[in-house]
Amino acid sequence: MVRTSVSSLAMLGGPRSVDAATRQPWPIVGPPEREAVLGVLASGKFTSAASGETQIPALEQEWAARVGTRHCVAVANGTIALSISLAAAGVQAGDEVIVPALSFVGSALAVAHIGAIPVFVDIDPVTFNIDPGALSGALSGRTAAVMPVHLHGLPADMEEVSGFARGNGLAIVEDAAQSHGVRYRDRVTGSIGDCGAFSLNVSKNLPTCGEGGLITTDDDKQADKITRMRQFGEWIPRSGERPYLSGILGWNGKMSAVQAAFTRAQLTRFDEWQAGRERVVRRFLDRVTPLSCFVPPTALDDRGHGWHILRFRIRPAAFELPPDHAETLRVTVMRALRAEGVPVSRYQSVPLCDQPVFADEGTAHRVTDVGTTRQVLADSFVLQHVHLNPDAGPALDSIADAMAKLWEHRTLISRMAADRHRADGRHPSPTNRRDSQ
């Protein structure tokens, strides 16, 4: 396909910028993963409860060493990792937990599932992470913990979050579901709070072939509690007979050995793949940054970035549109990019407080001003999955071509957005309509 920057938009019949054949799969499943999984099937030991099972403890040791914590406990998924971490950190029913309003719903459900109350606070407009300035406004006599989420792979402002939490006697549970192995100053995410909770969902930078989670902690007592909580609250002796006694309120949150073996195989290439991702994403961002219509994701000097999700804000001013056109402009840009073959999506259409489970179903929660979260959701779109494979360079090149093409046709895009805005007959403040994309 010949790509010229002056060709017309695909949504108007021009050539598509992105050839679907350039897409590379994620996760990468090769001989190491197949061998690892077959090895488990041959062993006949399938869960952490199976005597002599080796894959799960090996994964726990390897991940603890990488994060730099004394302990790691493998569990069934990232959501249960968060619930168990909160419970092990002492959060009880009726306590409040401060959660950023922009995250995957699992962050908030994990709080609600232990009977605690998520208190949603705003995000920073540049990092998309919890706004440290919003924390004190969320504090109440019932606040027990803060859950910073290292969203999209960029670590949250942990110095400020930790200072606030320590100053107010709160626990910190890091939601590190999207930030595997990412540096924050001289630490790694998951080693800064009381516990770090990771997801190994198949879409993550460190995936398994399905669902899985890891909890990291330095605290011996908490590690012991977490280990019991993942297995019905039981105390499991290292050897000898299982007493079948449940001493604390636990879950069945055990990981399967197949999941552990698959992730261990991924771990052997994790650094190489992350370095490859860093290269192709940086190159892509170098191409997209000069297009002044998009604000690319931010990297900061004192921390790494896992580049798990790439979020772009759209500048209405670059399209000579007023700020109140942000949402219709975003819808128009997404349509145009999709027509070019770019797999854009929103990754969250509403702040967590507007999720029907909270807003409509009455699940207990509290909300502070989340205006920035609304604004960011109105004017941004994301790329997910397409850039995770370290060989994503050609696909990202063609996505950059598509974005450049849009920029060249900005007058047209602007007119379409303005027409849509008029037709919608909607009014200034950007809202996040669930049906908007």
Strand partners, 184: 187, 303
By CB under 6 A, what part of segment 55-84 binds ligand PLP? 77-79
Put residue 385 in one of left, alpha, beta given phi > 0 → left and psi -120 to 50 → alpha: left
Q: Note the maximum CA span of the chain.
A: 74
Q: Is the dihedral of CA 267, 254, 67, 123 positive or negative?
A: positive
Q: Given candidates 40, 102, 135, 149, which one binds ligand PLP under the rule CB under 6 A?
A: 149
Q: Provide the minimum distance between the beta carbon of 188 and ligand PLP in the complex, in angstroms, as a whole number.
A: 17
Compare residues 178 and 227 and give the one whose CB is closer to ligand PLP.
178
Compare residues 56 and 418 and give the one whose CB is closer to ligand PLP.
56
Q: Given candidates 199, 222, 227, 373, which one binds ligand PLP under the rule CB under 6 A?
A: 199
- The reply to whether 175 sits near ligand PLP by the rule CB under 6 A is yes
- Which alpha helices (H) appear in 207-295, and where do they start and end? 220-229, 257-267, 270-288
Q: Given candidates 48, 55, 85, 103, which one binds ligand PLP under the rule CB under 6 A?
A: 103
Q: Provide the minimum distance between the beta carbon of 303 and ligand PLP in the complex, in angstroms, as a whole number.
A: 17
To 10 degrees, the CA torsion angle through 109, 114, 115, 116? -70
Q: Provide the minimum distance between the beta carbon of 263 and ligand PLP in the complex, in angstroms, as a whole number.
A: 12
Compare residues 254 and 335 and give the one whose CB is closer to ligand PLP.
254
* Pick from 353, 81, 362: nearest CA to 199: 81
- The reply to whether 174 sits near ligand PLP by the rule CB under 6 A is no
Give CA–CA dist 175/310, Å, rounded.
Answer: 18
Which two structure tokens, joined as six digits, stand for 16? Answer: 């598509």
State the distance between the two ends of the chain, measured CA to CA, in whole angstroms.
28
- The reply to whether 106 sits near ligand PLP by the rule CB under 6 A is yes
Q: Provide the minimum distance between the beta carbon of 77 and ligand PLP in the complex, in angstroms, as a whole number.
A: 4
- The reply to whether 319 sits near ligand PLP by the rule CB under 6 A is no
Our measurement of the distance from residue 384's CA atom to the centroid of its chain's CA atoms, rounded to an integer in Å, reads 10
- The reply to whether 213 sits near ligand PLP by the rule CB under 6 A is yes
Helix 220-229, helix 78-88: angle, nearest 10: 130
By CB under 6 A, what part of segment 258-317 binds ligand PLP? none
Q: Given candidates 69, 127, 201, 384, which one binds ligand PLP under the rule CB under 6 A?
A: 201
Q: Provide the minimum distance between the beta carbon of 235 and ligand PLP in the complex, in angstroms, as a whole number.
A: 26
* Pick from 161, 168, 163: nearest CA to 143: 168
**Coil, helix or strand at residue 380:** strand
Q: Which residues bind to ligand PLP, rule: CB under 6 A?
A: 77-79, 103-104, 106-107, 149, 175, 177-178, 199, 201, 211, 213
